[in-house]
Structure 1
């Protein structure tokens, strides 16, 4: 098969390294990357360093390129880009996909499937979410520290009878932890409640997770944003657990006091494109469409927009 990892940053690079390590001799595996990261992969391969720094994997794809015109039509595409790059990425993967292509989007966000389907009508798109703590430590080197490293994925709403047997076998044979879920939207929205609320508040107020927990005011603000997202999910008939706000908020207690959210770290780099719209913008748009008040999200997102200026 032809297998493409479109985006080999922290998430795509982690899973790309594992699967290339297992299947590069059986299948043609391609990476799409840019700049020094692409150059390093072509010259010295992609290296994965796991927690503790003891386990190293070094792999070479068949080709690492920044031009999809170099690639054949692919059987499976793992899409791992930031939400602000999604529209351009989908335009590109349309050139290397057909009616049989299986697309696995490993992105944060609750409307990723809908965004993809607005541009791409062919192939099978599997809604999913991923739990992994990874980043590019240096060009060509991915460092994984934390997270369950699990993928939750489910049926394409357009093709509910399609079962991605080949993809699931590849994940299993790569010892990648995954869960094939019917109502995968539950996992997607449950994760989003945590990352959106804590991401917005930590970035807007320049506080770590521990500092948020120490502040009664910011704790209540974070929970209020979670509650607004929960109301949106209810209106969309996503059956979240009854105590989702308390459960999600309590997860922060399992992180070191000094932990910053990835969104917060992006905001700290002035001028860097970030995923503010994925969190604040998405919640506010859903609220408007569904007639659900989102005053706390609007307050915090407005504070963030002032920072962006």
Structure 2
């Protein structure tokens, strides 16, 4: 099975490297500068699960190749439009597109671009960063990728994909309810990124305050109310499950959005919080905490644009 990883950053680079380590046919679609660096120095992974130094096959968007069997996308939401155009030449009639983006709005964009059947569901749980030398640094015990047909079916193609994913030195999990899994992660990441970015603090100090507990709980309840009103496939009472999960995290845990803001980088405010505010307005569900979070994020974006 020919696999194309879009990018060789923290997520695509890590999971692609693990698949390559296993012996799978993996190619990385990268920018010219990244291509030159990897060609010169190799692709390095520094991980608590074992380090890697590989010399993978590389493509740029100007190069030609036959369509791939599966394309894994792990870009930021604001990079998705360009990524869609970059992969068009490599998508054939039988190509599966597996997105690992946070949120849910990207599914509609991908279906519009490549068709309903091409897009399968996916998400991942991993904490990675790119080191100063360009290596992928992975420090958390969790390195999980979850995937499945959005219909929940065990199709022949998903079973074939499972055969190629199984045995990799990372946790690849085939889900029979990936649609629900994606919505549940969407709720969690929207709340976690929102509350830590709003308060400019790791989760620990926030939840040690009774007012912080109230803010977290209120935001999760708002998210569940909106998702319930739009008939999203979530479990009843999922906000309580997410609340307990957030209270069990390490005190020092920050969201990737908060880290991006600290570095002055782009954020996914419209894709995460903004998308749910749009849905809330359509079904007339009040979301004052979510709107407060979104206001903070949009002010950050406005100030960032002025400085550029």
**TM-score (norm: length of structure 2):** 0.89
Structure 2 vs 1, CA of residues 254 and 45 (structure 1 numbering), >3 Å: closer, same or farther?
farther
Partners of 1:197 and 1:223 within 8 A in 2: no
Is the partner of 1:164 in helix, strand or coil? helix
Alignment of 1:132-281 (within 5 A): 132-146=126-140, 148-157=142-151, 163-270=157-264, 272-281=265-274
Check if 1:94 corresponds to 2:91: no
Q: Give aligned pairs, total.
A: 302
Mapped to 1, the partners of 2:50 and 2:153 lie a distance apart of: 39
Partners of 2:150 and 2:177 within 8 A in 1: no
Structure 2 vs 1, CA of residues 182 and 235 (structure 1 numbering), >3 Å: closer, same or farther?
farther
Mapped to 1, the partners of 2:210 and 2:174 lie a distance apart of: 38
Alignment of 1:15-34 (within 5 A): 15-23=15-23, 27=25, 29-34=26-31
Partners of 1:128 and 1:188 within 8 A in 2: yes
Is the partner of 1:133 in helix, strand or coil? strand
- Extract unaligned runs of 5+ from structure 2: 303-308
Deviations 1:213-232 (A, max 9, x none): 12222322222221122123
> 1:259 deviation in Å?
2.2
Structure 2 vs 1, CA of residues 120 and 147 (structure 1 numbering), >3 Å: closer, same or farther?
farther
Is the partner of 1:77 in helix, strand or coil? strand
Mapped to 2, the partners of 1:147 and 1:189 lie a distance apart of: 23
Deviations 1:121-150 (A, max 9, x none): 276211111111112123541111225322
Is the partner of 1:259 in helix, strand or coil? coil
* Alignment equivalent of 1:61, drawn from 53, 56, 65: 56
Deviations 1:168-197 (A, max 9, x none): 111103243233222212211222222111
Residue 292 of structure 2: aligned partner: 299
Residue 282 of structure 1: aligned partner: 275
Of residues 279-288 and 153-162 in structure 1, the stretch that sits farther from structure 2 once superposed is: 153-162
Structure 2 vs 1, CA of residues 217 and 155 (structure 1 numbering), >3 Å: closer, same or farther?
same
- Extract unaligned runs of 5+ from structure 1: none
Partners of 1:104 and 1:128 within 8 A in 2: yes
Structure 2 vs 1, CA of residues 98 and 75 (structure 1 numbering), >3 Å: closer, same or farther?
same
* Alignment equivalent of 1:38, drawn from 16, 29, 35: 35
Mapped to 2, the partners of 1:40 and 1:94 lie a distance apart of: 25
Is the partner of 1:252 in helix, strand or coil? helix
Of residues 14-23 and 174-183 in structure 1, the stretch that sits farther from structure 2 once superposed is: 174-183
Structure 2 vs 1, CA of residues 158 and 92 (structure 1 numbering), >3 Å: closer, same or farther?
farther
Partners of 2:266 and 2:301 within 8 A in 1: no
Residue 2 of structure 1: aligned partner: 2
Mapped to 2, the partners of 1:147 and 1:246 lie a distance apart of: 25
